[in-house]
A and B are shown apart, each in its own frame.
Chain A
């Protein structure tokens, strides 16, 4: 995974709450067997409307998505994270994220930042007033900064360290594989196995 330390870019204001993962990428776009090429499916239904914010020229360079509350509800599809990344987003800011989407994003290296709803509203207004506004999201200081504003956000130390080092979770767990083996030895023998096939 690529290291994430800091990102500076312009942002796209998505003034909608409860953006579920079927909106981020509809099911018909989930058929690829790779992690790339999902950008065409991003907000596919809404993009057919020329007035949709993603279609506006002034936001074409945006790499930070600022969305309404409860972003990423619904399906566990990590394709929603990949679609945002494939399109070019590095950060999503919202006041609330769905649990699975939040987990997926932080595993895949898309930084999800939780700010208060009033901070999100202020960001929307600032971006709409100046679409090229530069926003910096920094993991070292855990700050979102623009103009003379600097808003701190929470992220647990472990996840922050993992993102800043670009570490692969699986590699970290495999270092502790002897503890997994110890656990397996003590597991109850009556627990079911899928093999051999019984009917």
Chain B
């Protein structure tokens, strides 16, 4: 029977499938971090259970860690305890951990791919909703809660009900200045934050195939913002070239065997998706959010909508609340919005290509005098690579801050936070109320828009410079 890519990966990991119970799926890679794992390890100890496959498990410190003075003990005692707890747990259960200061430390979703641990056709889970990032390789990757983290630690499996599948066809060619971030923000605005609930998304079409691996990761990363636990892209030559010679990629004959399997990983031409939508890449322009959920986005050259523009009463009231929280008036051009802080980083847009793209715009110019720009590489390796290319100097000379790797201001769990009322243009993934600090206001943007905004002080695209 014809199958979609997601169904193929699902079926290849079935440990057990019986009627009247969820499928039992084998998990190829389990990523963990300090925030969602301590209670899972406690659960194991309480039940006198071990970790079944430490050799399929990898831990990093990312959510809580400071991005300045990383050689000093973490100042916040509660954050320090959480990080110390992860260290103790990894030691006790024999799990590989990349701690603050380690060259492989970084945001878990940046580290997995750069080590070559993320490969096509795998099942990958992590106690973090942006695990969908790894779908860019044709892996079935999704976020889980702490109870499920404990389940995977103990059994290397998860009981799950088979989701539906949705194809998102993005055809055509992106205009200059338009990025994969704009594609995914436009998709979420189109289908809404609940549009992907119950589905695995497959991104396909010529515009997707033309993207680099890092650009694909940006798209898959935000699948969860459309309500889908997972989103994936069929692996192709771009994927294989990215993986070749990575530390944990297969070598020699294993590479050939893996390649043979990976090459079959695509949806059959006659496979049926439960739902299909299409987006025209030629029509896209830089996209930004105006509200307090990632679906409240519009083209940057648009004006802030009025609640009356919506028909669904829930959307009307959500828009009314969002405008109050964001302190914005309907009808205002987006480009008139004055920004205080620009954040370039996160598992969405904290990779080397993101930093290069922004640096290219900033080069030789100055960040507007009343703007704070923070540049936070997604991993220590990304930071080192950027420094080898001299990108750190370009940012510093422009007046931006150059930080160490971590989740940072994406979720404001460490000291990198917005002050109440402060407004950011952020390359991260969520514009929820208070996400980047209590009372903070977030506009989600691409790295190109972030850089142009930093120079002009108002939401801008590179074309405005």
The segment from A55-63, A99-107, A126-134, A146-154 that touches chain B is A99-107
A28 to chain B, nearest CB (A): 6
CA distance A195 to B22 in the complex (A): 31
Q: Which residues of A contact B36 (CB under 8 A)?
A: 76-78
User: Is the CB–CB distance between B145 and A179 below 8 Å?
Assistant: no
User: Is the CB–CB distance between A27 and B412 below 8 Å?
Assistant: yes
User: Is the CB–CB distance between A20 and B293 below 8 Å?
Assistant: yes
User: Is the CB–CB distance between B412 and A170 below 8 Å?
Assistant: no
Q: Which residues of A contact B438 (CB under 8 A)?
A: 26, 28, 45
| B435 contacts A by Cβ under 8 Å | yes
CA distance A37 to B54 in the complex (A): 30
User: Is the CB–CB distance between A33 and B197 below 8 Å?
Assistant: no
Give a binary string over B313-339; 1 marks a CB under 8 Å from any A CB, 0 the rest. 010011001000000000000000000
| A3 contacts B by Cβ under 8 Å | no
Also in contact, A173 and B229, with CB within 8 A (given A22-B430, A103-B148): no
Residue of B nearest to A197 (CB): B96
Give a binary string over B427-449; 1 marks a CB under 8 Å from any A CB, 0 the rest. 00010111100110000000000
Q: Which residues of A contact B194 (CB under 8 A)?
A: 69-70, 73, 96, 98
CA distance A189 to B257 in the complex (A): 10
Also in contact, A96 and B413, with CB within 8 A (given A107-B147, A180-B15, A180-B157): no
A2 to chain B, nearest CB (A): 14
User: Is the CB–CB distance between B197 and A18 below 8 Å?
Assistant: no
Interface size class of B (residues with CB under 8 A): 35 or more
| A68 contacts B by Cβ under 8 Å | yes
Also in contact, A30 and B413, with CB within 8 A (given A18-B193, A75-B129): yes
CA distance A41 to B318 in the complex (A): 23
Q: Which residues of B contact A176 (CB under 8 A)?
A: 15-16, 24
User: Is the CB–CB distance between B116 and A192 below 8 Å?
Assistant: yes
| B35 contacts A by Cβ under 8 Å | yes
| B26 contacts A by Cβ under 8 Å | yes
Residue of A nearest to B429 (CB): A74
Within 8 A of A (CB), among B400-458: 411-413, 430, 432-435, 438-439
| B85 contacts A by Cβ under 8 Å | yes
A174 touches which one: B58, B115, B154 (CB < 8 A)? Answer: B154
Q: Which residues of B contact A169 (CB under 8 A)?
A: 147, 151, 159
User: Is the CB–CB distance between B317 and A76 below 8 Å?
Assistant: no
Residue of A nearest to B249 (CB): A192
| A122 contacts B by Cβ under 8 Å | no
User: Is the CB–CB distance between A76 and B129 below 8 Å?
Assistant: yes
Give a binary string over B110-142; 1 marks a CB under 8 Å from any A CB, 0 the rest. 000001110100100001110100000000001
The segment from B2-10, B74-82, B205-213, B351-359 that touches chain A is B74-82
Q: Which residues of A contact B57 (CB under 8 A)?
A: 194
CA distance A109 to B405 in the complex (A): 36
User: Is the CB–CB distance between A156 and B161 below 8 Å?
Assistant: yes
User: Is the CB–CB distance between B435 and A190 below 8 Å?
Assistant: no
CA distance A195 to B30 in the complex (A): 13
| A81 contacts B by Cβ under 8 Å | yes
Q: Which residues of B contact A172 (CB under 8 A)?
A: 159
User: Is the CB–CB distance between A23 and B227 below 8 Å?
Assistant: no
Q: Which residues of A contact B227 (CB under 8 A)?
A: 70, 73, 98-99
B343 to chain A, nearest CB (A): 15
User: Is the CB–CB distance between A199 and B247 below 8 Å?
Assistant: yes
Residue of B nearest to A73 (CB): B193
What total count of A-B pairs have CB within 8 Å? 212
Give a binary string over B376-417; 1 marks a CB under 8 Å from any A CB, 0 the rest. 000000000000000000000000000000000001110000
Give a binary string over B1-43; 1 marks a CB under 8 Å from any A CB, 0 the rest. 0000000000000011000111010101100000110110010
Residue of B nearest to A97 (CB): B197
Q: Which residues of A contact B142 (CB under 8 A)?
A: 100
Interface size class of A (residues with CB under 8 A): 35 or more
Give a binary string over A67-91; 1 marks a CB under 8 Å from any B CB, 0 the rest. 0111001111111010000000000
| B165 contacts A by Cβ under 8 Å | no
Q: Which residues of B contact A179 (CB under 8 A)?
A: 15-16, 24
Within 8 A of A (CB), among B343-375: none
Residue of A nearest to B64 (CB): A31
| B244 contacts A by Cβ under 8 Å | no
User: Is the CB–CB distance between A45 and B145 below 8 Å?
Assistant: no
Give a binary string over B92-122; 1 marks a CB under 8 Å from any A CB, 0 the rest. 0000100000001000000000011101001
User: Is the CB–CB distance between A183 and B26 below 8 Å?
Assistant: yes
User: Is the CB–CB distance between A22 and B433 below 8 Å?
Assistant: yes
B76 to chain A, nearest CB (A): 8
Residue of B nearest to A192 (CB): B248
| B143 contacts A by Cβ under 8 Å | yes
CA distance A195 to B96 in the complex (A): 7
User: Is the CB–CB distance between A70 and B193 below 8 Å?
Assistant: yes
| B279 contacts A by Cβ under 8 Å | no
Q: Which residues of A contact B145 (CB under 8 A)?
A: 76-78, 81, 100, 103-104, 107-108
Q: Which residues of B contact A16 (CB under 8 A)?
A: 317, 321
Also in contact, A34 and B247, with CB within 8 A (given A74-B129, A74-B430): no
Given contacts A99-B198, A107-B148, A174-B154, 7 further A-B contacts (CB under 8 A): A26-B438, A31-B79, A75-B129, A96-B194, A100-B142, A100-B144, A172-B159
Write the residues of chain B forming the contact surface with A, with a CB cutoff of 8 angstroms.
15-16, 20-22, 24, 26, 28-29, 35-36, 38-39, 42, 47, 49, 52, 54-58, 63-64, 76, 78-79, 81-82, 85, 96, 104, 115-117, 119, 122, 127-129, 131, 142-148, 150-151, 154-157, 159, 161, 163, 193-194, 197-198, 224-225, 227-229, 247-250, 254-255, 257-258, 261, 293, 314, 317-318, 321, 411-413, 430, 432-435, 438-439
7 pairs, CB–CB < 8 Å, chain A vs chain B: A31-B35, A35-B42, A104-B148, A156-B161, A170-B47, A188-B261, A199-B247
